[in-house]
Each structure stands twice: as structure tokens, then as C-alpha cells.
Structure 1
């Protein structure tokens, strides 16, 4: 049987991020090197499912049918770049803040629905963010200084007023992943 690399995610409105993303890229250029995420692929990941048999896709869609590909109102802002491990950072992301908490409700629904059909529950709390770079090398001192610089930043991108949960296939290619909504 054929396998598909799948995750549940919510894409970001293309018009919201470019200025903030460009500024972060320019600021962090001297501190990090790695692979920047293509703007058209910017998203919030709810759950990475991994390699899934094609025959399971219908069951996943059915379990998530109450929310999948349906708009949900939100008030989401994007601002501070950060990393989960500032001592050994591997991923640079932009934080996402939803004043309505709709993204958290959507994520909880995903978790409950997928656990019911046999997927493992996440062992870490959900932290909405947009991965913007997978880092290969980091000047940790310069990186930490830049993260601290942005902590006092008031400017935010947004708001995004609607979010959709999508089942997304990730096709890996030498030039980067190609995402397809299933």
C-alpha cells in the first residue's frame, strides 16, 4: 500500500506575514544559517501524523469531519521570533497568539478525535507557531540577542480573522516540501 506523509495544519493568510518575515530574515541572517520556509508554505501545525497508509485517509477525514476545511472565527496575531530551545536552537519560529482561543479549541478537537481512532496523544502542550527556518548552524550569542531584541517588540502582523483545519500531505523534494491539501 502507498504511504502519504501527513499533518493537520492551518495555513496563514499570505498578505499578513511578508513584511514581518522579511524583517526577521534580514535581522537573523548573520546569526543563523539553514533552510528558510517558503512563504506559501507558512502554517501552524496542529499534529504531525507521519507516514499514513492511503487507506486510512478516509477514516481520518471522517473523524475530523466536524471541523476539517470549515472556517472558524479567530483573532490571530503573529509577532515574536523564538525557538523552543534557546541553548541549542534548531527551529526558528514566529509566535501566534489567538485572542479568541479558537486555535486551541481546534487543536483539542484534533487530539480527541485522532486519539479515538488510534493515534497517539501529544506529550507536549500545544504552542501555536509558524516555523520559518530549520537551522543548520547558529551563533548562539547573536541569536539570543536577537530573540531578546524582539521580546520588547510591540508591532504585530495580523489579525487573521479566520482559520481552517486542513489535512495536508507533505511531499519532500530536494528543493523543499510541497504541501497539498487533501
Structure 2
């Protein structure tokens, strides 16, 4: 069984890397597990453990579906968090084209329903996870740092493909292996 998910890769270019390092520098006071810049992505659908037969069916179905979908641009626009103000759990980057991404995720889910792979959660929030927060030493300082990144402006990201990735956990941490890349029209 392989743990797979469908995602949009975030380019590991110098501008993105600089922004990631700047955020990490500003939040170094907290205990967190940071996502390496080369692994930044936005998950559209998490599948969990799948056997090879199921994987082939997913690839076959999505290959047809994505040929009908247009490429698009998306913009990173803010730093936000999941959890409460007093106990943040995840730091993440928000996307300006939130509704378009929700529509894309719903379209993908509609296709996957045909295979009996139903939605695992109701509320899809388009985001790029940056860090899993274990503990923050100063809540007021954390909130002050969050305000610094309330608005982020980077070059638009051209999304020309969607990737099916395998999550591999090793003693080095989590790695993502490309299983399939679906080109958009």
C-alpha cells in the first residue's frame, strides 16, 4: 500500500526560497517542523493508503479529466495558521484564487466519486503548509510576527500540471516521490 495525494507543486525558485527563509527567520523562536522549500505544495486531495490496482484506475480517470482543464495562475497572498491564536498548529500560505481552487478540488472529487473515493472532509481550504508548530514560546510575539506577513506579494505561479505524489516517511523525514504528472490544457 502506498500513501498518495494529488497536489500543485510550488516552484522552488530563488524568490520563493528567499520568502520561505524570511518567514523561518522571523519564527525561529518557536518549536516547529518546517517543510523544505523544494517540497512546498498545495494538496488538492489526500488518498491515504492505496493498492496498485486502485492507483492505476485513479491515474486513468484523472488523465482524461485533466486534459479538459485549463492551466491557470495562482498568487500567494498571506501567511495564516490553523489552530487557535493561543495554540497555533500549522503555519500556511494562503492563495488569492481561493474559489477557483475550491472549484478545481470539487471537480476532482466529482471524478473520484465515480471510483468510490469519496471526500474525506467537507471544508477544503486551499493552502500551502509551511510548518507544523509543536510549541511557541511567546504568544504575543507570535501574533506580532504573523502581522508582518499579513500580506505577501510574489510573482504569480503558473500552474500547468497537477501531480500525484507518494509520501515516503524515513528517518530523514518525509520525502515526496512523483508517481504521475497530469498536464493541463
Q: TM-score range by the shorter chain?
A: 0.7 to 0.9
1:60 aligns with 2:58: yes
CA contact under 8 A between 1:77 and 1:97: conserved in structure 2?
yes
**Given the alignment, which residue of 43, 47, 50 partners 2:48?**
50
Q: Does 1:171 align with 2:168?
A: yes
Indicate how the Cα distance of structure 1 residues 180 and 70 shifts in structure 2: closer, same or farther if over 3 A, else same: farther
Counterpart-to-counterpart distance in 1, 2:19 and 2:37: 11
Once the two structures are superposed, residues 141-182 of structure 1 have per-residue CA deviations (whole angstroms, 9 ceiling, x without a partner) of 32222222322x3x4112012242111111111221111111
**CA RMSD, aligned part only?**
2.2
Which of structure 1's runs of 4+ aligned residues deviate more than 3 A? 67-72
User: In the superposition, relative to structure 1, how do residues 93 and 59 fare at CA in structure 2: closer, same or farther (>3 Å)?
Assistant: same
- Check the 8 A contact 2:98/2:126 in 1, yes or no: no
Q: What's 1:149 paired with? A: 148
Q: Is the 8 A contact 2:65 2:111 kept in 1?
A: no
Aligned-residue offset at 1:48: 0.9
CA–CA separation in structure 1 for the residues paired with 2:98 and 2:133: 30
1:114 counterpart residue number: 112
TM-score (norm 1): 0.85
TM-score (norm 2): 0.84
Gaps of 5+ in 2: 180-185
The size of the alignment, in residue pairs, is 176
Distance 1:71 1:24, change over 3 A: farther
Name structure 1 gaps, 5 residues minimum: none
Counterpart position of 2:20: 21
Deviations 1:104-125 (A, max 9, x none): 3331221111122112214332
SS for the counterpart of 1:107 is: helix
Instruction: Assess, with a 3 A threshold, how the Cα gap between structure 1 residues 145 and 67 changes in structure 2: closer, same or farther.
Output: farther
Q: Deviations over 1:59-93 (max 9, x none)?
A: 11122123459984222111321112233221111
Question: 2:140 is paired with a residue of what secondary structure?
Answer: helix
